[in-house]
Structure 1
């Protein structure tokens, strides 16, 4: 349940602003019905007569609408920049940015507070009201949030900041998995072949991506489960998801399926975003190979943390049952992340050198079970390069990078 709630909050840009809007309504009723109780505690300057308060509320609402219009225009420009220069998959990183959500929420809260008070202020039985004073404080807070928002915007469109944010996002997911293994909450077992089990099959109720594996539901059940899909896989309605190894299938949604992929349990999705940013950088339209190189280096560091765990699938076990969750192999992650870069940048020796550097970084702390996979990919990229057409200096440079990737001690 917690993971599903975390997924909803992480992928929704409306929930936090909605809470601020509800807070604005609640604050309206507090100031309307309890404002007189604070007359002895608050200075008289925050209390105005009803006509003056209505004027202040109207003026503050008008100025706030101007800031909101500018903010929304800026958001549209940033979304266009994210989609055209980075990747459409990174748009959600900006929309769910905490600074953006709280700034938008504060604007909505102030707007809702101003509108509701303008509607209710004429019906107040008091000669003076507190609403205008609170409104001024909210507007001042909105101005500060607006300045902070502009600063956040200017930082978020920098490629280095986006790459760093994606890097932290992936490391956080991997750290959670590593901690679960260390605490014994999850085990890693050799990959199992997909075959028909003696049990009850379950099928995808809808088309979409596997977003979560709900391992927290295992505690109340004593039936084993075997999955045949991994988090991050795309499934169509009716696709086989797994088997309940019992006489009857439990009425439990083991998988959360949604329209978009989520990185909460899928660090490979973050690697895919970085790979797409790298591809954008080496495209003729953008022509920014340095950004591509930085993205590839971050991919290597994420793979370094990911490869510390041995190859295999996840197993959640307790005294009652064992739930097996398939995990994307390292070979598939490497192939999907780096092969598109090889396809479009085989002519750029510096980008290709960064690929070898990423593999070298990934092998620094890798488990022995990944050794063959990394060696195989070095051979794969070596075969894709035409060393005969390279200048001796270029050939020596690439050969040196490739040998550094091979000589890493694991």
Structure 2
């Protein structure tokens, strides 16, 4: 029962990122409210208000029908225009920055809520219009419901103004990178806070039983609480063999476990805790933030866009994220009550992460001396931070500085530019007394 609850909870969390989730809930609320008002009108709420507060009631049938018809047509026009703006945003983000940004932009909760408000008001107006009887006196007219429709339409207009403001901000690359950075920083901080010990010991898994994937797809997430509950119940240890975000082919090893063989039913249950998807969100996988920000920098340095300023801003965000990533251990575990590791989670190492980022940036930015200097500044800052964190991290950063220096020297022809880079390397070597290539 507990594992089923965790699975349902994980499913709901994944459903939240769907663009139709909140609009569907709010639209359903608008529909239910329309039926509630129809019921209250049947009890005579408008008749009571006509006698006691006539200003709160629209008591003319033709006026009520004209208002509701105008609202319905206007709302449809607003929704079409808003949808067009969203498509423009997605198209520009995909062409100018990176297609990987689209899932994060689509899952923008504010835009989902605004779309839900439009839909809910539209459904409310439609059913209120249908409830107006063709013939009858003013007391049969749902006058109070019509007044509420006016209020809801006013809210829709305010939401539309806010939507225009929001979409104009969302289309800016600075806002996009800031959102990616915030999500990744929050995710990384949470992972660091949950880490227990750097001295965790985990057995060698080479001889463990292997469970292979039964389908292909991008490994998006795993229900860790359900997996932990399963491991405790079966009294086994588990190693997750794949890294989140990678594309897993059918029959590749998904995990390894110790102990007796599991039956087919238990293996199927175990594999159900792994979620596959075509979309990735930074809030679930911080590594995606490094990929997205790097791709924004690379696109900015392309000849078609040629925007070094955006690349420099992207490097600033990457510097802050790398500094935070160095505080996280390369190995992640789940612990039991006695602080014994019983689930090992494979993660992207710091060395692999910074190499992949720097390899791409070196390739596309080595011709620009301004961006190159920014990259050196990033690596120098990380080198200072690594002094107090991990010796291995320091060696990794020194290796990346040497790689960057080699690419720059082989690419730049101007002696003035080369002298700037060489003097920077000489200073680094004298300060750190490390093996720098000069």
> What TM-score results when the alignment is normalised by the length of structure 1?
0.89
Match of 1:341 among 337, 361, 381: 361
Contact 2:103 2:279 in 1 (8 A): no
SS where residue 248 of structure 1 aligns?
A: coil
Q: Indicate the residue corresponding to 1:258 in structure 2.
A: 277
Q: Indicate the residue corresponding to 2:58 in structure 1.
A: 48
* Larger displacement relative to structure 2 (201-210 or 384-393): 384-393
* Larger displacement relative to structure 2 (170-179 or 88-97): 88-97
Report Cα offsets for 1:195-231 as digits up to 9, x if no partner: 63333x2222321222113221113533211121111
Instruction: Describe the shift of the 1:298–1:361 C-alpha distance in structure 2 as closer, same or farther (beyond 3 A).
Output: farther
Return the offset for 1:60: 0.9
Match of 1:209 among 195, 213, 218: 218
CA distance in 2, matches of 1:266, 1:188: 24
Match of 2:80 among 69, 74, 77: 69
Query: How large is the RMSD of aligned CA atoms in angstroms?
Result: 2.7
Report Cα offsets for 1:358-388 as digits up to 9, x if no partner: 2233344332131111111111111112268
* Larger displacement relative to structure 2 (283-292 or 130-139): 130-139
* Larger displacement relative to structure 2 (212-221 or 288-297): 212-221
Asked if 1:292 corresponds to 2:300, the answer is: no
Contact 2:103 2:280 in 1 (8 A): no
Asked if 1:27 corresponds to 2:27, the answer is: no
Contact 1:87 1:276 in 2 (8 A): yes
Contact 1:229 1:242 in 2 (8 A): yes
Q: Indicate the residue corresponding to 1:272 in structure 2.
A: 291
CA distance in 2, matches of 1:317, 1:206: 29
CA distance in 2, matches of 1:148, 1:88: 26
Contact 2:104 2:281 in 1 (8 A): no
Larger Rg: 2
Return the offset for 1:91: 1.7
Question: What number of residue pairs does the alignment pair up?
Answer: 402
Asked if 1:8 corresponds to 2:26, the answer is: no
Q: Indicate the residue corresponding to 1:395 in structure 2.
A: 418
Contact 1:304 1:364 in 2 (8 A): no
Long gaps (5+) in structure 1 = none
Q: Indicate the residue corresponding to 2:400 in structure 1.
A: 377
SS where residue 177 of structure 1 aligns?
A: helix
CA distance in 2, matches of 1:69, 1:402: 57
Asked if 1:164 corresponds to 2:175, the answer is: no
Long gaps (5+) in structure 2 = 1-5, 434-438
Instruction: Describe the shift of the 1:191–1:304 C-alpha distance in structure 2 as closer, same or farther (beyond 3 A).
Output: farther
> What TM-score results when the alignment is normalised by the length of structure 2?
0.84
* Larger displacement relative to structure 2 (57-66 or 248-257): 248-257
